[in-house]
Amino acid sequence: MSDLEWVLAIPHEQAFKRMEEPWGGAKTSYLTGIKETLEAKYGPISFTRLYFGEEFCERALSTGKALAKAVAAAEERGWGFTYVTPYLTETGLTKVQQLLDILAQTKPEAEVVINDWGVLDWVTEHHPTLTPVLGRLMNKIIRDPRMPYSLRNSPDQTVMHKFRTCNLAGGEMKDLLAQYQVKRVELDYPPQGLDPNLPAWGYDISLSIPYGVIMTGRICLMQSWGLAAGEKFRTTGPCPRRCRLGWLELSDPSGRVKKDKDWQIIQKGNTVFYRQNKEFLAEILTEAEKTGVSRMIFQPEPI
């Protein structure tokens, strides 16, 4: 995997400092452990591409000015540039279209990570110089940490295949994505592992670490903190963006979601993630090598 491409993912302008110190911040000890695991296998990590943009919430979309600043920062470092977009309402689609117009003018050869079919269709029609990448929310691989350990390690490969594959492996989907000129798709590492037949899917594969997505949606718990009952859980209106200030570490007193040695479950904004422990990450890197992952996306913070 000497040709493995390393990406630094930054969700918003306030996180630009990550370009100078990707391994620092509030969770320095955790990120230091991740760094140690990565460098034990690959040596010093050299990032060659910047991912910028909000992957999960249209209410947290960057401004055009911030997008232009991110493009310039990548160019200063000689990095490639990829703009990341979320799933959208019609209102959000209009905002993203305006941002993509700016991107096409300032960086016409950039990539766009797409998590919404409407964005994929619009980009293909209006900005063919941009390269679409299918985001990780567009595949339906089961990635639920409640999956029993016995199933995650089942010797029955027929059963495991059903849990490791998804619609992207099907011929009809391959034909559809070929029409949209999609050659790269993004994945999380699910609890049950990657499909050993991943190379046969026919795509270039990107893998996000060290956060995997469990679930996301337009209702945001953090946005509702401190509001009157009638104002909570609205999907429109102003947002204080508390997701940028911290996250919640979740547990289940009922025992239905058991503690696991491989990850912690956290919530940041409108999305729940599993945060991979460094020992589990070492296993992920080995499996990624076996299945031909060509791009590793490092997220110091997931949203």
Determine what percent of the chain falls in helix, strand and coil, rounding each to the nearest 5.
40, 20, 40
Q: Is 75 exposed, middle or buried (0-12, 13-18, 19+ CB in 10 A)?
A: middle
CA 124 distance to own-chain centroid:
21
Compute the distance between CA of residue 149 and CA of residue 245 in angstroms, rounded to an integer: 33
Query: Taking 60 as the threshold, does the pLDDT of residue 219 lie above it?
Result: yes
- Pair 84, 50: CB distance under 8 Å: no
Residue 275 backbone class (left: φ over 0; alpha: ψ -120 to 50; beta: rest)? beta
Instruction: Give the residue, 33 or 303, on which the prediction is more confident.
Output: 33
| Mean pLDDT value of segment 279-292 | 94
The domains located in the chain, with CATH, are 5-210+277-298 (3.20.20)
The pLDDT-based confidence of 1 (bands split at 50, 70, 90) is very low
Which pLDDT does position 2 carry in this prediction? 53
Query: Taking 60 as the threshold, does the pLDDT of residue 180 lie above it?
Result: yes
Segment among 80-89, 91-100, 210-219, 248-257 with least mean pLDDT: 248-257
Q: Which residue type is seen at 107?
A: K
Query: Taking 70 as the threshold, does the pLDDT of residue 115 lie above it?
Result: yes
Q: What is the pTM of this model?
A: 0.92
The pLDDT-based confidence of 25 (bands split at 50, 70, 90) is low
To which residue do tokens 């999380």 refer?
Answer: 188
Residue 106 backbone class (left: φ over 0; alpha: ψ -120 to 50; beta: rest)? alpha
Instruction: Give the residue, 114 or 191, on which the prediction is more confident.
Output: 114
pLDDT in tens, 33-57: 999 999 999 999 999 999 999 999 9
Compute the distance between CA of residue 266 and CA of residue 246 in angstroms, rounded to an integer: 10
| Mean pLDDT value of segment 237-248 | 77
Q: Which two tokens stand for residue 161?
A: 């295949």
Mean pLDDT of the chain: 90
Which pLDDT does position 153 carry in this prediction? 78
pLDDT in tens, 57-81: 998 899 999 999 999 999 999 999 9
* Percent of all residues in the chain with a pLDDT value above 90, rounded to a whole number: 65
Query: Taking 70 as the threshold, does the pLDDT of residue 222 lie above it?
Result: yes
The pLDDT-based confidence of 261 (bands split at 50, 70, 90) is confident
| Mean pLDDT value of segment 155-171 | 89
Query: Taking 60 as the threshold, does the pLDDT of residue 252 lie above it?
Result: yes
